Amino acid sequence: MNKKLLRTAMPMLSLLTLVALACTCGGFLEDPTPTPEPVPTLAPTKAGAPTLVPTKAGVPTTAPTRASQPTQAGGQAPFKLSATPFVHKSGAFSIQLPDGWKTEERNTGIFASSADSVGSVDISFVNTGTQLDAKEVLNYVDAFEKNFFATYANYKLLDKKTLSDGCVFAMKTLATKSGVAKSVGTYYCYNTSVMFQQDFWADTAVFSQYATPFDQVSNSMKSNSTAAAKSPAYAETYTFTDLNKKFEFKVPYSWKYERTKGTSTNIDTFTSPDGASVFQNIAYDDGKTVTQSESGKFALKLLKDVYKLNDIVITEDKVQKDGSERLTWYSNAQGVKGQSFFETRGTTFLMLSWIANTADYSTFSPVWDVLLDSYKIPK
């Protein structure tokens, strides 16, 4: 796969100019070392061909052992592990959860919580479709932390490090909607195109008492990447709503989000961890009414001049039921394919595009379909 997509297709400054002119694994009791949250780069620094979803039968493997740590003096373990492991319906993993905790199974995971809501465990998996390298795994982690955990009040990343087993551990504190201070430890363990994630939550005041049994839960997990890779790519999504309430849609938690703002332009960009696929919405409003004919010419100019698709071939141009227009296209020179929807709403021109490396088009197509199926104008 050609991983130069972001460098060739996403020149933000050019776009704004054009539009304006037109364990060592640790464990939970280890003292965290405060580290600044890294800023992920826009594009991978190396080219490579990731392997596709494996076809050989997978063998369940046990997560790397994380040595239990002693609880604080006088601390008492708040739960014991269930004698019978929970087996996810997909066959992607099995795990021993806290005995007696309430469970809610999802298509890509399981959530378990104590009766008093002090502690909870969330186990999930995400098929990334393509094989991520170490840097791209960190892109995934950074995006998930920002798009999910950082949306809680008082979010603070205390520690983030890559462990000797290859997993990434992130420790943070935050506050729930009801104002309860929580500590959350997350293991991000990537294996053969699948990210297995373990989130351990507990009230900050008593988190140390949960540390040892939480690590026991973690160590009990067995995973099957082949079974997990059968799930749709990037199935864990959230609803993104435009700040100006012009649109909303579902996008993966693990895709990096950026907002670029100009005098008359707002650009929302969502990038996959490997940079092989991008969703981008452009909203342009200079106060002048835009005709449908003008919007069509403008959309084509953006594709050619801004995305540098000089050899673009439009394979389909179709007016949609809602009045928008869809262009399906490809560029052999850039090695990309995509779709663009554009429309006008009074003085606002909107264009939503999906761009993917040609080799990965089919992998990311279902993610694009989820976005389109969920697209609507907020009330």
CA dihedral for 373, 253, 377, 18, sign (positive or negative) = negative
174: helix, coil or strand? strand
Position 40, amino acid: P
Tell me the pLDDT tens digit for each residue of 305-316.
Answer: 878 899 999 999
Tell me the pLDDT tens digit for each residue of 275-296.
Answer: 999 999 999 988 988 787 788 8
**pLDDT score of 305:** 83
pTM over 0.95: no
Tell me the pLDDT tens digit for each residue of 175-226.
Answer: 999 999 999 999 999 999 999 999 999 999 999 999 999 999 999 999 999 9
**pLDDT score of 27:** 52
218: helix, coil or strand? helix
How many residues appear in the chain? 379
Average of per-residue pLDDT across 44-67: 34
Domains and CATH numbers, the chain: 5-21+232-374 (3.40.1000.10), 76-228 (3.40.1000.10)
Q: What is the mean pLDDT of the chain?
A: 83
Token representation of residue 91: 């066959």
Which residues have CB under 8 Å from 10's CB, separation 6+?
Answer: 42, 269, 271, 278, 280, 307
**pLDDT score of 28:** 52
200: helix, coil or strand? strand
**pLDDT score of 3:** 45
Does 31 score more than 60 pLDDT?
A: no
Distance CA 229, CA 55 (A): 10
Token representation of residue 120: 């909870």
Residue 373 CA to its chain's centroid (Å) = 18
Does 358 score more than 70 pLDDT?
A: yes
DSSP-assigned letter for residue 308: -
Average of per-residue pLDDT across 113-118: 95
Closest CA to 317 of 298, 342, 334, 345: 342
Closest CA to 313 of 333, 288, 287: 333
> Confidence band (pLDDT; 50, 70, 90) for 76?
low
Contact (CB, 8 A) for 119 and 210: yes
Question: By percentage, how much of the chain surpasses pLDDT 90?
Answer: 66
Token representation of residue 224: 């099957």
Average of per-residue pLDDT across 34-45: 32
Any alpha helices (H) in the chain, and if so which ranges?
5-9, 12-21, 134-147, 207-219, 225-228, 292-301, 361-374
Average of per-residue pLDDT across 248-267: 94
The neighbour count for residue 28, using CB atoms within 10 Å, is 23
Does 63 score more than 80 pLDDT?
A: no
Distance CA 149, CA 186 (A): 10
Cα Rg of the chain (Å, integer): 23
DSSP output for 250-284:
EEETTSEEEEEE-SSEEEEEEE-TTSSEEEEEEEE
